């Protein structure tokens, strides 16, 4: 028990807060990247498939693909902003 009380004395509340902020910032970004990662992979894969099947429609498919990527990626980027806010703000 004495060992634990010694530990508790060493941990400074500001340090504990920084540690918690840093680890939760990592989790925030990591979790936010899962969904968009799957989404963008699926989206680009399907677009490549479409372009390979119908090369003459490649221009249109590409534009729509970039639009879709932009919408999907926004979620990951919001996660990144949360990371910055947790870590530095």
- Interface ranges with other proteins (CB under 8 A): 59-60, 63, 66-67, 69-71, 73-74, 77-78, 80-81, 84, 87-88
Closest approach of other proteins to the CB of residue 17, in Å: 16
Question: 11 or 81: whose CB is closer to other proteins?
Answer: 81
CB atoms within 10 A of CB 65: 19
Question: 9 or 14: whose CB is closer to other proteins?
Answer: 14
The phi, psi pair for 11, rounded to 5°, reads -70, 120
Angle of helix 13-53 relative to helix 58-88, nearest 10 degrees, comes to: 180
């Amino acid at each position: 028990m004495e060992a634990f009380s010694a530990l508790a004395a060493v941990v400074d509340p500001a340090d504990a807060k920084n540690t918690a902020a840093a680890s939760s910032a990592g989790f925030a970004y990591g979790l936010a990247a899962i969904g968009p990662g799957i989404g963008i992979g699926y989206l680009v894969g399907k677009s490549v498939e479409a372009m390979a099947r119908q090369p003459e429609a490649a221009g249109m498919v590409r534009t729509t693909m970039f639009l879709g990527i932009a919408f999907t990626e926004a979620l990951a980027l919001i996660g990144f902003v949360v990371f910055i806010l947790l870590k530095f703000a």
